[in-house]
Amino acid sequence: MVEYSQLHIALARTAVERAAPDELPLFDVTSDAYFARRKQSRRHRNADRMLDFGVDEAVTLVSHAALVAAGYSVDYLAQRSGEAAGQVVERTTASWWKRLMVWKREPEEPTQPTAQPDDVEQPISLTRDQLAAVRELAHQRSVDAGVSDETARLIADSIVGELALLPHEH
């Protein structure tokens, strides 16, 4: 089964792309430090504290808040949906990593689409209540992590927007 951390990172990266694109060059370092702290700690609280690894805190503030918010969002959905959330993570992580790898490499030549109409992925169905609960949780955790209310809204909206559009298989 695919690790939840892959969806966690993908959601956080999307939030940083929208809320603080200037932090993207340090996102991998920030997420590595976040997960290292989270792994060392049995409780999420220690990982949620601002990271201190020699990089200016102002530079990593939004990335850290996005990681915290995305982590709580994925955990919330997993707790509420159980096996269904695991299936969502499993089905969508491959497409997330494909997008990420395409974003990181320079295109060689234009490629022709290979998907047939039956192969096209469709959005999954999360209820309006589930999305609202995730948005509220992501917003609150972002504020708790130290970003402004406006930035917290951008992070929360990015996470919910991505969750609403996650692909699924037929």
Taking only the tens place, the pLDDT of each residue in 65-123 is 999 999 999 988 888 766 555 555 555 655 665 666 555 555 555 444 444 444 444 44
Q: Residues 117, 120, 121, CA angle at the centre, nearest 5°?
A: 155
pLDDT at 54 over 60: no
- The residue type found at 35 is F
In a domain, residue 16? The reply is: yes
The first and second tokens of residue 99, run together, are: 């997008």
In a domain, residue 97? The reply is: yes
pLDDT at 28 over 50: yes
In a domain, residue 144? The reply is: yes
- What residue numbers bound the domain in which 97 lies? 4-105+118-168
Task: Indicate the pTM of the whole model.
Answer: 0.69
| Cα–Cα distance for residue pair 60/15, rounded to 1 Å | 13
In a domain, residue 55? The reply is: yes
In a domain, residue 110? The reply is: no
What's the domain count of the chain?
1
In a domain, residue 61? The reply is: yes
State the chain's mean pLDDT as an integer.
Answer: 75
CA distances from 82 to 74, 77, 86, 127 (A): 11, 8, 7, 15
Contact between 15 and 155 under an 8 Å Cβ cutoff? The reply is: yes
In a domain, residue 113? The reply is: no
